[in-house]
Amino acid sequence: MSSTFAPMTWHDTLYLAPELILAAMFLILIITDLILPQRVNRSLIGWLTLAGLLVSLGAVIWRMIDMNPSGVSAEEAAKAGQAISLLGASYRVDDYGNLLKIVFLIGTSLIVLMGLGSTQKDDAVTDKAEFYYLLLPATAGAMIMASSGNLVTLYIGLELLSITTYVLVGLRKRSSLSAEAAFKYVVTGGIASAFVLFGMSYLYGVTGSVSLADFGTALPQALTDYKALVYVGFFFLIAGFGIKIAAAPFHAWAPDVYQGAPTPVSAFLAVIAKGAALAAVFRLLYSSAFFVSGGSKDQAGDDVMFALLVIAAVAMLVGTLSALRQKQAKRLLALSGVANAGYLLVPIAVSVTIIHSNNFAEFAFYLVAYLLMNVGAFAVVTVIARATGHEELRGFSGLYYRAPWTAVAMLVFILSLSGLPVTAGFFGKLFILLGAASVKAYWLVAIMAVSTVISYYFYFGIIRQMFLRSNDEAETEIHVPAVTGLVIWICAAATVALGVMPGPLMKWIDMVFTIQGDLFVR
Q: Estimate to the nearest angstrom the gap between the alpha carbon of 235 and the chain centroid.
A: 21
Does 253 score more than 50 pLDDT? yes
3-state secondary structure of 38: coil
Using pLDDT thresholds of 50, 70 and 90, give the confidence band for residue 390. Answer: confident
- Report DSSP state, residue 288: T
Q: Which pLDDT does position 8 carry in this prediction?
A: 64
Helix axes 503-512, 95-117, angle to 10 degrees: 130
3-state secondary structure of 114: helix
Contact 67, 95 (CB under 8 A): yes
Q: Give the Cβ contact number of residue 237 at 10 Å.
A: 26
The residues spanned by each domain of the chain are: 12-518
The candidate with the shortest Cα–Cα distance to 407, out of 284, 494, 311, 489, is 489
3-state secondary structure of 15: helix
Distances from the Cα of 12 to the Cα of 20, 136, 254, 399, angstroms: 11, 21, 38, 52
What does the DSSP assignment read for 14-39? HHTHHHHHHHHHHHHHHHHHHHS-TT
- How far is 363 from 344, CA to CA, in rounded Å? 6
- How far is 485 from 117, CA to CA, in rounded Å? 9
Contact 329, 463 (CB under 8 A): no
The candidate with the shortest Cα–Cα distance to 484, out of 82, 118, 39, is 118
Q: Give the Cβ contact number of residue 408 at 10 Å.
A: 16
Using pLDDT thresholds of 50, 70 and 90, give the confidence band for residue 222. Answer: confident
Contact 489, 497 (CB under 8 A): no
Q: Which residue has the higher pLDDT, 428 or 127?
A: 428
- How far is 202 from 228, CA to CA, in rounded Å? 10
Q: What is the mean pLDDT of the chain?
A: 87
Using pLDDT thresholds of 50, 70 and 90, give the confidence band for residue 295. Answer: very low
Using pLDDT thresholds of 50, 70 and 90, give the confidence band for residue 374. Answer: very high
- Please give the single-letter amino acid code of residue 325: R
The beta strands (E) that lie in 404-452 are given as none
User: What are the beta bridge partners of residue 150?
Assistant: 211
pLDDT, tens digit, 9 for 90 and up, residues 85-141: 787 778 888 889 999 999 999 999 999 999 998 877 777 777 888 889 999 999 999
Does 11 score more than 90 pLDDT? no
- Please give the single-letter amino acid code of residue 190: G
